[in-house]
Chains A and B, each alone.
Chain A
């Protein structure tokens, strides 16, 4: 059964997936054309700021997408040695800790955006908030995902290695 909550989340992920892929694509194009143009003696002053702005969003969107499929590396030997009930309790605790952290991060992000939004990025002449906003947005979606993980744990549908370790590539 798919709840409304699931439906909304999957819409959000679909959007984030597209944005993320477009971001890395545009980074390749921007940085590569900068090399070409420089070869012909031209250089654009907005490249550095624009590419970094895109990169911040790309990285955080990717981190959120990765959080959904549990690919952020963790040490699972201890967790997997526990019997089913104890494991379940520990999973609740872990996700509660993550939730607490994310709530702090979200609140901090909102505060920060609010109190620095009149600061400008030098060349682009737009507010720094466009960059910092990525943090509250990312932590908000991860908060929703963590809530959903509680449901998974409750229903015994939470798998740590739902995706093979071979897919994980963190160095």
Chain B
């Protein structure tokens, strides 16, 4: 018990004063180690390697790289043109374009932050120009960006798959329908708010113009298809899907977008640096989970929860609320590393499918990316629009409610998650 308290206090304390999360987790494991009266810094070092030395995790740099190449090529501009051609003509068109473009970009990128910066930096100014409220534009950009980690590929799902030894391919498929549902849910809200605030109607375009847009965008739109078909058809694993995505991105960015060889050092560097950020958290979180394991925190928590109730629905609701709260103060990646090893075994005791539970965790915690005080997507979005976090909250509130309702659907209708993975 004292270990759990010390763990929570030091992790939150270090985070609060501004220690980078990865080091905060490392320091917490150091403190846990001392409390256990162990003097084994060598375990720290070994667990650092353990957190990285996993074949499946190699999918992370690959999808980072594929996303980076596509982004540098300027594919997002085409995606916006394309979605605008589909849906821009109705009232509040650009709001729908925002959500829909996020859904398409989600099929290329595995990261919500990448989604925010790629799409947000283009569409927030565009929406402002067209008479949309800046706060609303920033809020809808942030909310729809979390689709980036729900629709495959998804870096958080790669992480869950490798710590829990679940097939990443099945996790990817499990996120497909929930991701689309979140997109539709947000578009429904756009419909309501556009009517209410009388947001502008976009330009109509001719079928010929549409075909022109499609001609350039089609190549970017094919990539998610290749990834999905490859995984469903069993042609390659998730890691290999990542590398296929990279090679495909290199080819089309060269042929259709004129990305040159000399652009590559920077593209590769960015992908590496972004991978490094995730992997340092993975590494130090692995150190922490070892000491928490020695202290038998997972078993104790599991016994504690089971002693309260063995009702599956009650447990799931408890999880929804807890993860929502955790998500407010801990970012998605570290939260997964700390909680998956603890909660997944508990959920098995309640008879919940591990794929279903993993998707619940990712979806639930990804909402944490857009809730203050610690919400990376919010930071990025507000820095694009030069707004303060506090100014956004009022616009975000209804979206939180919608997302929470969608979370409940994902949680209590397992078929939404499990139908697609059951096909392979």
Instruction: Determine chain A's interface SS by DSSP, over half rule.
Output: helix
Chain B residue at minimum C-beta to C-beta distance from A136? B45
A26-47 near B? 1/0 per residue, CB < 8 Å = 0110011011000000000000
B189-218 near A? 1/0 per residue, CB < 8 Å = 000000000000000000000000000000
Chain B residue at minimum C-beta to C-beta distance from A170? B277
Is the CB of B186 closer than 8 A to any CB of chain A?
A: no
Chain A residue at minimum C-beta to C-beta distance from B331? A73
- Residue of B269, B277, B380 near A165 (CB, 8 A) is B380
- Residue of A24, A35, A167 near B268 (CB, 8 A) is A24
Q: How large is the interface on B (under 10, 10 to 19, 20 to 34, 35 or more residues)?
A: 35 or more
- Residue of B16, B45, B156, B276 near A75 (CB, 8 A) is B16
B19-37 near A? 1/0 per residue, CB < 8 Å = 1111110110010000000
Is the CB of B149 closer than 8 A to any CB of chain A?
A: yes
- Enumerate chain B residues within 8 angstroms of A112, measured Cβ to Cβ: 42, 45-46
- Enumerate chain B residues within 8 angstroms of A66, measured Cβ to Cβ: 273, 276-277, 280
- Enumerate chain B residues within 8 angstroms of A104, measured Cβ to Cβ: 30, 41, 44
Asked if A78 contacts B274 (CB within 8 A), the reply is: no
Is the CB of B239 closer than 8 A to any CB of chain A?
A: yes
* A59 → chain B closest CB, angstroms: 4
Is the CB of B108 closer than 8 A to any CB of chain A?
A: no
Asked if B65 contacts A171 (CB within 8 A), the reply is: no
Asked if B276 contacts A28 (CB within 8 A), the reply is: no
Asked if B113 contacts A169 (CB within 8 A), the reply is: yes
- Residue of B14, B42, B274 near A108 (CB, 8 A) is B42
Show 14 A/B contacts (Cβ-Cβ < 8 Å), sorted by A: A21-B265, A24-B61, A24-B268, A27-B58, A55-B58, A62-B279, A66-B276, A74-B18, A77-B373, A79-B17, A165-B380, A170-B376, A171-B111, A171-B113
Instruction: Supply 5 further A-B pairs (C-beta < 8 A) apart from A51-B58, A59-B283, A170-B331.
Output: A21-B272, A27-B58, A31-B239, A55-B58, A101-B27
